[in-house]
Amino acid sequence: MRSTRWLARSITVAVLYAGAAHADEAIWRNHMATAAEAAKRGDYAAAVQMFAAAAKEAEAFEANDVRRAATWYGLAQGYRAQHDYAPAEKNYLQALAILESVNGVMHERNASVLNGLADLYRVQGRYAEAEDYYKRELAIIEKTRGPGHPAVARALSDNLAALYRVQMRRDEVEPLYLRALAILEKALPANDPQVGLALIDLAEWYQGLQRYVDAEPYYRRGIPILEKMFPPAHPRVLLLLNDWGVVRQLQGRYADAESVFKMMLAIIEKAQGPRHPNVGVALNNLVGVYEVQGRHAEADAVRKRMLEVANLPSRSQPYVPEQGLPRNKR
């Protein structure tokens, strides 16, 4: 996730571009390292405090020293993690100004700062500015890594497509997801996790548009890949199986839906046992698919077991499909 990667970036920029040894450099480096450790612990207040201390030491460096840029970038990320957006923006812009003056506007090390600014603007609803910075980041990645690099696919799906979805710019989302998938399928093995996530992006997008026929093949291809990424009966996989079965059911493909729901049930029973609350969720799916076909006797039998499971004492948190699939930015 980006929330962890930025720590390494801040220090890496500083180390790679540090100039001649300076009397204040050792103190600055110590503050930067301490700030990074605090952020890794999730203590962003302490991280900001230490990045601010590093910034005071960095005042002794040349105005365009990239160590200053690393410091401002760290401060910006720390402020953003605390939802303190105004100082975050200020520090991102300061870092970007230094990096562009030193490296030029198309250097690959500028991409992280551009991404940070774009993310910051997106969460504030400043979509036009977010789009501009995402596009600038994308242009750098395409130039420095090539248009067929997996990083381009991630920028298309995680950044621009996600931004357009928030704005309901539906006609622009699908081409980005399709292009991202095409890049990944060409660059990576067919069972690579990034390919699986790109397939699921499309499946969920089409399902949200009620384009169930279009969603079906992407679930069918993507779910087996994601099953290998997570422990058995992981909530993400269970919800995907649930959605896949629903997509089939809504097409009137009841036998196919039943097959998926039984697969889901078998996975839960094997990994979590027959008395786990998640068993009740899978059984409820089967009740629904039986009822819609008029198979009432079978529905009643499954419903009876479902109610028994629901009344069993358990300390486990039930899996609730309506909560939605938790997705992390790649």
Q: Which helix (H) or strand (E) holds 197?
A: helix 193-208
Is 139 a member of any domain?
no
Query: In this structure, what are the phi and psi dihedrals at residue 38, rounded to the nearest 5 degrees?
Result: -60, -40
Half-sphere exposure of 68 (CA within 13 A, CB side): 20
Residue with tokens 């690099």: 149
Please check whether residue 125 lies inside any domain of the structure.
no
Q: Which of 64, 86, 103 is the last residue of a domain?
A: 103
> 148-180, pLDDT tens digit by residue?
999 999 999 999 999 999 999 999 999 999 999
pLDDT, position 132: 98
Question: Is pTM, for the whole model, over 0.75?
Answer: yes
What pLDDT, on a 0 to 100 scale, did the predictor assign at position 310? 72
Domain boundary among 58, 88, 103: 103
Decide if 124 is inside a domain.
no
Q: Is the pLDDT of residue 13 over 90?
A: no
Residue 177 domain-assigned (yes or no): no
CATH of the domain at 251: 1.25.40.10
Domain that holds residue 313: 220-330
